């Protein structure tokens, strides 16, 4: 019994001690509860404030039988959005507040939330008094402790602005994407964040290849730290506009770009990156350069045209002078010789002057015609096998007298091994004569001229080296231009039209050769060299039958005045002076000449006298030389229809020659003609008979 | 029909163990795996017979709660000694509590482990009884344990209790019943009521940790103790206990009534103190009474209770477990199930009568 009492006492002691601890624990729990309640109340106040002031619409619905819902509470945002007062809504059924067609839709969503026991979200476009709003609606079912569905809490988040912004963003993105310019954004460390189609097109990289990489992959290494400079300026908030620079495509090629770089700021204004617009201006640059080039070319062309015009004016002045100078001598001496009695010596001098000046004038006209042929592209070569040595000798022979007269020593060194070339011997002689004439003209009395001919590799080189006044270095590049003379002034010392070297250049080039001029400068002489390609050697004798009469004339083996003894020549020319001159020249060689001043008379004489050959002018009144020869050729051989004929005419162009030959003449000789040439032609044709 | 009757009826918990199991437990420790098969068979048989009574809610009969409803969760803890307090019963015997010898305090096992097994066999809802923290608080000795103050023990105790209930709820227990038989004992130990209030406080601190929804599935059982057909506090007046009992934050109360001398007085006290959100399950059969009640006797007790307690807040139960201590052989399993059948039938009869009014 005592033990039981002791046990009970001890139990009581323990129990009461525990009670103290429990009390302490309870007090602590109460304190915690109190604190929790305070926190809860504070939280409730906060929630209430939030509920009232949150911008999202919040509504609380009680679920009722029959799938109906009644408004328990709504917040201020609901009132503001719907324009309905709390009194108009709270306690009312959804059916009474929300009109169709929205009502059916929202009730379906409410039912789904209750049935599926989960939150349901959808987007709702609603017409409010304040305008059309797009809201993200969310309703969450609430269940009691027994799991029964009792309430719905719903929120509507106004996404009208977000939608608008999103649409704007999409529109802007589409604009950016469709832009021809490269548009990209990057961080302040130069890391690419966005990359549009334009950028892909311009630089060749896809977005996947560059996003996340440094923009320096677009910068050519030679531009060094340009990007760093750009980034430094961006960090300071600077905008870089229309900065023209060079960028590098994926394939390493460069392109000119115009950059506009703007800092990107976050909502607080802190610069976080940059947008960059790069416009490919490569084509613009090229077009600008092209335009500049064209302008430059146009300026140059205009300058050249002006220069050419000036040169032409100078040339005309020169031409006038050059034509008048010999005419003056001719006219003067002709008047002297006519006006008085004169000694034989004086007569001879006068005739010599007239002859010389006539030749000068002839050469002037010949040069002008050649230049005309060259310009019109109608210069034709009578190409044959030509022994250049002979041609050079003939040219030297033709100027030797002039050189001797001026006391100039003419040294000729011709390599006998130099082979033949293919060319027009007359034209080649014209070229060499031209160089030699120039050399004599520009070499002072007592000077020397060396003429050399030698084979060099696959061509033959003919050089004329003089000790004359030389050529200024600045004029040297232009010596072969027509109408160019180093001294273009009216007081120049040397005559000529300035066409010779230009003709030489064209003729040599027509032969497949080249001509070059060298000079160490003024008073240091000049060297002109003509290179002609060596003719490929063929077996067999050259076809002498094709040699041109003038070629024959140029040959040193042909006598100056062949004998025309016994040759009957019919000469037709409407100009009595010309007719008489021809008659005189031919008769001096022993020919029997029948002169006719018209085609009709010529035909009559042909039938009657049966000449060995015919020399006829072309330009005649009435029946011209072409018709005349056609009538002749229409005759039988017995009647003289096969009589060889030469056209002698001032129509000296290549096409005139061709026309003459086609009409029936065997040869064509341009006026004026040297007596020796005329006699040679007549002799040649007479032999054909 | 029974399952849908308007007056719910539930057992308290224990059913006498099969004799072979009791005999085996006398020889070897209750935790020995060699007993597993016998435990399982006892549980399976108990559930089968329980369901045969028509009881809409059953238990596993606490077949595996060795040695009793009070210490099952701490039995075998290394930081306990067997020389705790002795609880004296009116039959003259005592039951000794284990004594805590050191911290921290942790359960050795949790009742949801029993639920796992029962749910494997049961076809009807299963409730699970757990011991109250106030009962276990008596394990802490009079002298403070060095390094483990009493306050800390109270905190650990609450945490373990909460953990046990939460596990049972999560696993699907129809109800979790907190055995609070020490309520009347507290009044007996401390007639000032201070200890009872502290016990209420302690249990409320645990209950506060659950939601209102959880608390609808939590109940508190009080009785004067029941062991070998006797009580430890049957002499304590309910009037001293019940007003405080209904302060507990539980949704359900299981109050022994059948064994009370003046049931009407108790019912009046209940009517006076029960709260609207509480349901009281009154005991309509007394396990310590060897008489097997008839359904009609039970019916009459239910109808009597319905006179004082709103029927929508009324339920019936056994006064207590039929064998809270596993070695109690004073009541047979047959008697227990017969009395349970009477409770179920009698409650149904009463409900039918009430429904027909």
Compute the half-sphere exposure of residue A144: CA atoms within 13 Å on the CB side of its CA: 7
Contact A102, A124 (CB under 8 A): yes
Q: Is A127 on the interface with B (CB under 8 A)?
A: no
pLDDT band at B43 (very low <50, low <70, confident <90, very high): very high
Q: Please report residues of B whose CB lies closer than 8 A to that of A148.
A: none
Retrieve residue B11's tokens.
Answer: 């057992």
Q: Please report residues of B whose CB lies closer than 8 A to that of A23.
A: 198, 201
Q: Considering only alpha carbons, which residue of chain B is nearest residue A21? A: B151
B38 vs chain A: nearest CA distance in angstroms?
Answer: 36
Q: How far is CA A31 from the centre of its chain?
A: 95
Contact A232, A271 (CB under 8 A): no
Beta bridge partners of B287: none
pLDDT means per 10 residues, chain A with 689 residues, are: 67 79 81 84 84 86 91 89 86 87 87 92 78 86 86 90 84 83 89 91 92 91 84 86 91 91 86 88 88 87 81 71 73 77 78 82 80 75 85 88 89 84 87 90 91 86 92 86 60 63 88 90 91 64 37 39 86 85 86 93 92 90 90 91 88 78 88 78 78
Compute the mean pLDDT over every residue in chain B, rounded to the nearest whole number. Answer: 90
B150 vs chain A: nearest CA distance in angstroms?
Answer: 7
Of A409, A473, A419, nearest to A443 by C-alpha is: A409
Question: What is the torsional sign of CA A229, A232, A236, A237?
Answer: positive
Count Cβ atoms below 10 Å from residue B202 Cβ, excluding itself: 28
Of A388, A368, A393, nearest to A557 by C-alpha is: A393
Three-state DSSP state, A123: strand
Question: What is the torsional sign of CA A542, A545, A548, A553?
Answer: positive
Q: Please report residues of B whose CB lies closer than 8 A to that of A13.
A: 142
Q: Please report residues of B whose CB lies closer than 8 A to that of A29.
A: 205, 208
pLDDT, position A685: 83
Retrieve residue A493's tokens.
Answer: 């010392």
Q: Considering only alpha carbons, which residue of chain A is nearest residue B212? A: A145
Instruction: Please tell me the distance from the alpha carbon of residue A107 to that of residue A69, in angstroms, as a whole number.
Output: 8
Span B223-234, average pLDDT? 68
Q: Please report residues of A whose CB lies closer than 8 A to that of B140.
A: 14, 17-18
Question: CB-CB: which of A14, A23, A24 is closest to B138?
Answer: A14
Q: Is B70 on the interface with A (CB under 8 A)?
A: no
Of A324, A360, A531, A321, nearest to A441 by C-alpha is: A360
Specify the higher pLDDT residue, B337 or B329: B337
Count Cβ atoms below 10 Å from residue A220 Cβ, excluding itself: 16
Question: CB-CB: which of A19, A25, A145 is closest to B195?
Answer: A19
What are the residues whose beta carbons fall under 8 Å from the beta carbon of A594, sequence distance 6 or more? A568, A569, A570, A571, A605, A609, A611
Helical pair B36-52 and B333-356, crossing angle rounded to 10 deg:
30
A22 vs chain B: nearest CA distance in angstroms?
Answer: 6
Instruction: Please tell me the distance from the alpha carbon of residue A141 to that of residue A466, in angstroms, as a whole number.
Output: 119
Instruction: Please tell me the distance from the alpha carbon of residue A89 to that of residue B173, in angstroms, as a whole number.
Output: 44
Contact A231, A190 (CB under 8 A): yes
Q: Report CA dihedral (A577, A583, A585, A588) to the nearest 10 degrees.
A: -140
Residue written as token pair 């109800």:
B175
B215 vs chain A: nearest CA distance in angstroms?
Answer: 10
Count Cβ atoms below 10 Å from residue B44 Cβ, excluding itself: 17
B107 vs chain A: nearest CA distance in angstroms?
Answer: 19
Please give the interface size between A and B, counted as residue pairs whose CB atoms are below 8 Å apart: 82
B166 vs chain A: nearest CA distance in angstroms?
Answer: 16
Q: Please report residues of B whose CB lies closer than 8 A to that of A24.
A: 151
Contact A411, A451 (CB under 8 A): yes
B338 vs chain A: nearest CA distance in angstroms?
Answer: 33
For every residue of B144-210, DSSP letters joined together read PBTTB-HHHHHHHHHHHHHHHHHHHHHHT-S-EEEE-THHHHHHHH-TTSHHHHHHHHHHHHHHTTS
H-run or E-run covering A398 = helix A388-405
Give me the percent of chain B exceeding a pLDDT of 90. Answer: 66
Q: Is B85 on the interface with A (CB under 8 A)?
A: yes
Retrieve residue A211's tokens.
Answer: 């996003």
Mapping DSSP onto H, E and C, the string for A292-335 reads HHHHHHHHHHHHHHHHHHHHHHHHHHHHHHHHHHHHHHHHHHHH
pLDDT, position A548: 34
Question: CB-CB: which of B86, B94, B140 is closest to A18?
Answer: B140
Question: CB-CB: which of B138, B150, B194 is closest to A11?
Answer: B138
Q: Is A145 on the interface with B (CB under 8 A)?
A: yes
| Strands ordered across the beta sheet of B9-10 | B9-10, B314-318, B279-285, B252-255, B218-222, B176-179, B128-131
What are the residues whose beta carbons fall under 8 Å from the beta carbon of A60, sequence distance 6 or more? A71, A72, A73, A74, A151, A152, A153, A154
pLDDT, position A553: 37
Q: Considering only alpha carbons, which residue of chain B is nearest residue A4? A: B88
Q: Is A409 on the interface with B (CB under 8 A)?
A: no
DSSP code for B34 = G
Q: Are the beta carbons of B154 and A13 separated by less than 8 Å?
A: no
Instruction: Please tell me the distance from the alpha carbon of residue A545 to that of residue B222, in angstroms, as a whole number.
Output: 157
What are the residues whose beta carbons fall under 8 Å from the beta carbon of B304, sequence distance 6 or more? B263, B264, B267
Q: Are the beta carbons of B198 and A24 separated by less than 8 Å?
A: no
Q: Are the beta carbons of B88 and A4 separated by less than 8 Å?
A: yes
Could you tell me the CA-to-CA distances from A389 to A453, A460, A462 in Å, in that order?
Answer: 7, 10, 9
Question: What is the torsional sign of CA A251, A257, A263, A264?
Answer: negative
Q: Please report residues of B whose CB lies closer than 8 A to that of A22.
A: 137, 154, 198-199, 201-202, 205
Instruction: Please tell me the distance from the alpha carbon of residue A648 to that of residue B189, in angstroms, as a whole number.
Output: 169
Question: CB-CB: which of A14, A25, A145 is closest to B213?
Answer: A145
Interface test with B, best of A3, A6, A12, A22 (most B CBs within 10 A): A22
Contact B254, B222 (CB under 8 A): yes
Contact B108, B49 (CB under 8 A): no
DSSP code for A263 = E
Q: Are the beta carbons of A11 and B85 separated by less than 8 Å?
A: yes
| B110-158 tens-digit pLDDT | 999 999 999 999 999 999 999 999 999 989 988 899 999 999 999 999 9
H-run or E-run covering B26 = helix B19-27
What are the residues whose beta carbons fall under 8 Å from the beta carbon of B221, sequence distance 6 or more? B12, B13, B129, B177, B178, B179, B180, B181, B253, B254, B255, B317, B320
Q: Considering only alpha carbons, which residue of chain A is nearest residue B88? A: A4
Burial of A316 (0-12, 13-18, 19+ CB in 10 A): exposed
Retrieve residue A318's tokens.
Answer: 């020169």
Of A55, A60, A86, A84, nearest to A72 by C-alpha is: A60
Could you say which residues from 28 to 57 on chain A have a Cβ atom under 8 Å away from some Cβ of chain B? 29, 33
Retrieve residue A98's tokens.
Answer: 């929300």
Contact B343, B302 (CB under 8 A): no
Specify the higher pLDDT residue, A287 or B235: A287
B213 vs chain A: nearest CA distance in angstroms?
Answer: 5
Retrieve residue A492's tokens.
Answer: 């120049």
Of B166, B108, B130, nearest to B14 by C-alpha is: B130
Count Cβ atoms below 10 Å from residue A574 Cβ, excluding itself: 18
Instruction: Please tell me the distance from the alpha carbon of residue B173 to that of residue B166, in angstroms, as a whole number.
Output: 10
Retrieve residue A507's tokens.
Answer: 């003729």
Q: Please report residues of B whose CB lies closer than 8 A to that of A8.
A: 88, 189
Using a cut of 0.90, tell me whether the model's pTM lies above it: no
H-run or E-run covering A461 = strand A459-466
Q: Are the beta carbons of B138 and A22 separated by less than 8 Å?
A: no
Three-state DSSP state, A534: strand
A65 vs chain B: nearest CA distance in angstroms?
Answer: 23
Could you say which residues from 132 to 161 on chain B have a Cβ atom under 8 Å away from some Cβ of chain A? 137-138, 140-142, 150-151, 153-155, 158
B294 vs chain A: nearest CA distance in angstroms?
Answer: 35
Retrieve residue B105's tokens.
Answer: 């305090």
pLDDT, position B264: 95
How large is the ipTM? 0.72
pLDDT, position B325: 83
Instruction: Please tell me the distance from the alpha carbon of residue A633 to that of residue A604, in angstroms, as a whole number.
Output: 14
Helical pair A576-588 and A675-688, crossing angle rounded to 10 deg:
70
Could you tell me the CA-to-CA distances from B294 to A545, B12, B314 in Å, in that order?
Answer: 165, 19, 20
Q: How far is CA B242 from the centre of its chain?
A: 16
| B181-210 tens-digit pLDDT | 888 888 888 888 888 988 999 999 999 999
Q: Please report residues of A whose CB lies closer than 8 A to that of B213.
A: 145-146
Count Cβ atoms below 10 Å from residue A128 Cβ, excluding itself: 15
Question: CB-CB: which of A11, A21, A33 is closest to B151?
Answer: A21
pLDDT, position B227: 62
Contact B142, A14 (CB under 8 A): yes
Q: Please report residues of B whose CB lies closer than 8 A to that of A16.
A: 190, 194-195
């Amino acid at each position: 019994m005592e033990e039981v009492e002791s046990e009970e006492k001890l139990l009581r002691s323990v129990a009461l001690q525990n009670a103290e601890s429990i009390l302490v624990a309870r007090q602590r729990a109460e304190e915690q509860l109190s604190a929790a309640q305070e926190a809860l109340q504070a939280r409730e106040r906060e929630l209430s404030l939030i509920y009232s002031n949150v911008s999202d619409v919040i509504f609380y619905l009680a679920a009722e039988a029959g799938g109906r819902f009644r408004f328990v509470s709504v917040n201020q945002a609901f009132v503001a959005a719907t324009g309905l007062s709390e009194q108009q809504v709270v306690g009312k059924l959804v059916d009474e507040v929300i009109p169709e067609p929205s009502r059916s839709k929202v009730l379906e969503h409410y039912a789904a939330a209750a049935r599926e026991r989960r939150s349901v979200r959808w987007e709702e476009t609603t017409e409010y008094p304040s305008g059309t709003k797009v809201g993200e609606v969310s309703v969450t079912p609430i269940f009691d402790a027994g799991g029964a569905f009792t309430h719905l809490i719903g929120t509507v988040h106004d996404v009208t602005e977000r939608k608008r912004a999103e649409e704007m963003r999409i529109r802007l993105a589409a604009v950016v994407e469709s832009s021809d310019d490269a548009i990209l954004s990057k961080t302040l460390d130069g890391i690419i964040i966005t990359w549009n189609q334009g950028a892909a097109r311009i630089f060749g990289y896809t977005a996947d290849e560059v996003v996340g990489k440094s923009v320096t992959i677009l910068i050519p290494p030679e531009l060094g730290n340009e990007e760093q400079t750009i980034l430094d300026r961006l960090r300071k908030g600077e905008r870089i506009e229309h900065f023209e620079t060079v960028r590098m495509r994926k394939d390493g090629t460069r392109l000119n770009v115009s950059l506009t770089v703007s800092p990107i700021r976050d909502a607080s204004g802190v610069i976080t990156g940059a947008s960059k617009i790069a416009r490919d201006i490569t084509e613009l640059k090229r077009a600008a350069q092209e335009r500049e080039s064209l302008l430059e070319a146009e300026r140059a062309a205009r300058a050249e045209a002006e220069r050419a015009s000036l040169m032409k004016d100078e040339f005309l002045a020169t031409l006038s002078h050059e034509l008048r100078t010999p005419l003056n001598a001719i006219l003067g001496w002709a008047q002297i010789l006519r006006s008085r009695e004169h000694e034989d010596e004086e007569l001879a001098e006068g005739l010599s002057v007239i002859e010389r000046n006539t030749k000068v004038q002839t050469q002037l006209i010949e040069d002008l015609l050649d230049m005309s042929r060259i310009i019109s592209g109608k210069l034709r070569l009578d190409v044959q096998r030509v022994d250049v040595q002979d041609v050079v000798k003939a040219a030297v022979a033709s100027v030797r007298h002039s050189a001797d007269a001026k006391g100039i020593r003419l040294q000729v060194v011709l390599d006998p091994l130099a082979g033949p070339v293919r060319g027009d011997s007359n034209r080649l002689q014209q070229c060499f004569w031209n160089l030699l004439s120039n050399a004599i003209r520009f070499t002072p009395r007592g000077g020397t001229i060396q003429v050399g001919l030698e084979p060099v590799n696959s061509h033959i080189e003919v050089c004329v080296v003089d000790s004359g006044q030389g050529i200024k270095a600045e004029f040297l590049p232009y010596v072969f231009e027509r109408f160019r003379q180093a001294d273009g002034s009216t007081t120049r010392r040397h005559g000529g039209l300035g066409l010779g070297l230009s003709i030489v250049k064209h003729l040599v080039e027509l032969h497949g050769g080249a001509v070059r001029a060298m000079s160490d400068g003024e008073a240091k002489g000049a060297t002109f060299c003509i290179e002609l390609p060596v003719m490929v050697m063929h077996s067999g004798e050259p076809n002498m039958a094709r040699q041109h009469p003038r070629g024959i004339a140029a040959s040193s083996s042909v006598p100056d005045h062949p004998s025309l003894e016994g040759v009957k020549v019919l000469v037709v020319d409407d100009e009595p002076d010309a007719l008489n001159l021809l008659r005189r020249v031919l008769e001096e060689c022993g020919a029997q000449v029948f002169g006719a001043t018209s085609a009709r008379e010529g035909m009559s004489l042909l039938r009657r006298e049966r000449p060995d050959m015919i020399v006829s002018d072309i330009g005649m009144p009435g029946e011209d030389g072409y018709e005349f020869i056609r009538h002749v050729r229409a005759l039988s051989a017995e009647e003289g229809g096969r009589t060889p004929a030469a056209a002698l005419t001032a129509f000296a162009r290549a096409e005139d020659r061709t026309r003459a030959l086609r009409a029936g003449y065997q040869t064509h000789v341009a006026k004026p003609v040297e007596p020796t040439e005329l006699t040679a032609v007549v002799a040649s044709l007479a032999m054909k008979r | 029909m029974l399952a849908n009757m308007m007056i719910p009826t539930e057992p308290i918990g224990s059913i006498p163990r099969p004799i072979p199991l009791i005999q085996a437990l006398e020889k070897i420790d209750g935790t020995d795996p060699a007993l597993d098969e016998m435990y399982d068979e006892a549980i399976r048989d108990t559930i089968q017979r329980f369901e045969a009574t028509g009881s809409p809610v059953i238990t596993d009969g606490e077949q595996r709660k060795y040695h009793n409803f009070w210490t099952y969760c701490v039995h075998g803890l290394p930081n306990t000694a067997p020389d705790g307090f002795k609880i004296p019963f009116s039959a003259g015997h005592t039951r000794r509590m284990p004594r805590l010898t050191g911290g921290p305090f942790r359960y050795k096992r949790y009742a949801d482990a029993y639920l796992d097994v029962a749910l494997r066999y049961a076809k009807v809802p299963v409730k699970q009884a757990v011991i109250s923290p106030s009962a276990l608080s008596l394990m802490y000795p009079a002298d403070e344990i060095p390094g483990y103050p009493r306050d800390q023990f109270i905190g650990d105790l609450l945490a373990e209790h909460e953990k046990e209930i939460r596990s049972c709820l999560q696993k699907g227990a129809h109800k979790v019943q907190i055995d609070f038989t020490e309520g009347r004992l507290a009044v007996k130990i401390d007639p000032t009521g201070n200890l009872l209030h502290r016990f209420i406080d302690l249990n409320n601190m645990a209950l506060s940790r659950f939601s209102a929804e959880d608390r609808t599935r939590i109940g508190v059982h009080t009785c004067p103790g029941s062991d070998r057909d006797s009580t430890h506090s049957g002499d304590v007046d309910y009037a001293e206990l019940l007003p405080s009992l209904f302060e507990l934050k539980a949704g359900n109360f299981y109050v022994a009534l059948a064994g009370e001398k003046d049931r009407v007085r108790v019912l009046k006290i209940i009517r006076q103190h029960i709260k609207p959100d509480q349901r009281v399950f009154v005991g309509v059969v007394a396990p310590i009474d060897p008489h097997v009640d008839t359904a009609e006797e039970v019916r009459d007790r239910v109808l009597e209770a319905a006179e004082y307690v709103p029927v929508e807040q009324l339920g019936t139960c056994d006064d207590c477990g039929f064998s809270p201590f596993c070695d109690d052989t004073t009541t047979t399993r047959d008697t227990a199930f017969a009395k349970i059948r009477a409770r179920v039938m009698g409650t149904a009869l009463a409900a039918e009568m009430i429904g027909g009014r």
